[in-house]
Amino acid sequence: MTNIGYIGAFLGGVLSFLSPCVLPLIPSYVSYITGISFEDFKTGDKAHSRHVKFVTLFNSLAFVTGFSTVFILLGVSSSFIGKYLAFYYDQIRIAGGIIVIIFGLYVMGLIKLNFLSSDHRVHLKHKPHGYAGSFVVGLTFGAGWTPCIGPILGSILLVASTSGSVMQGFKLLVVYSMGLAIPFLATSLAMSAFISRYGKIQKYMRLIMILSGILLIAFGIVLLTDKVYLILGSIPDLGLEDIITH
């Protein structure tokens, strides 16, 4: 057992954040959940800046808690279902490996998959008020995925489903969510700098997608070669398994 699986899951979250269908939307999401305009983010007044950061931090925390809840529940449910499909483990593993490799080729732009090229997010016309509203927006973000998040998240869910352990699915998706949440929080708190520097980041978008595709293909090969144990690290259960399974 190694922690390579958790490193991969965390990296998957980071690459999901950096993907071209998430990163460009970050300013809009942050502005939407906080109610703060781009101009207000750029205001230099210290008192105003502290207020903006306070509002941004707690609304962003509610938002990432929302999408993390969805992703973790998906991880737990996929592992739970996988336990009852253990008889078909090899078939699921091989089919999953092939699908994940295809996802990787799609993310790299080498093949086209029309069903992944449409946006399935739920669009809220009006955001509910307060932190609870930001949590709901996070739930809709997580429930809808996006074309770029779908292949990476779906691949990790496939790995979770073959683990045969609800706890492993829980832990993998917690780590994935952290990989997506941490850069989101950091970016939201440095929104003014992000807006001014986004053009420079955009130059590396193609490289980011290639790295994402390579990560997915690696996941697929691990499934095909029945090396799933490499994906399942040795993070302590901390007594949570009994809570989840009962």
Identify the pLDDT of residue 216: 82
For the chain, how are helix, strand and coil distributed in percent, rounded to 5? Answer: 75, 0, 25
Identify the pLDDT of residue 118: 53
- Domain count across the chain: 1
Nearest CA among 170, 223, 190, 177 for reference residue 57: 190
Identify the pLDDT of residue 65: 94
Q: What does the alpha-carbon distance between residue 91 and residue 199 come to, in Å, rounded to a whole number?
A: 45
Q: What is the DSSP string of 47-87?
A: HHHHHHHHHHHHHHHHHHHHHHHHHHHHHHHHHHHHHHTGG
Cβ pair 155, 216 in contact under 8 A: yes
Identify the pLDDT of residue 178: 94
The packing angle between helices 191-202 and 166-189, to 10°, is 100
Calculate Rg over the CA atoms of the chain: 19
Q: What does the alpha-carbon distance between residue 69 and residue 107 come to, in Å, rounded to a whole number?
A: 25
Please indicate, yes or no, whether the overall pTM of this predicted structure exceeds 0.75.
no
Q: Which residues contact 50 (CB under 8 A, 6 or more apart)?
A: none
Identify the pLDDT of residue 189: 85
| Torsional class of 221: left (φ above 0), alpha (ψ -120 to 50), beta (otherwise) | alpha
Identify the pLDDT of residue 35: 79
Cβ pair 72, 168 in contact under 8 A: no
Q: What residue numbers bound the domain in which 43 lies?
A: 4-245
Q: What does the alpha-carbon distance between residue 180 and residue 145 come to, in Å, rounded to a whole number?
A: 12
Identify the pLDDT of residue 46: 57
pLDDT along the chain (246 residues), means of 10: 67 84 80 77 63 86 92 85 73 81 84 62 58 85 68 80 78 91 90 74 81 84 72 44 43
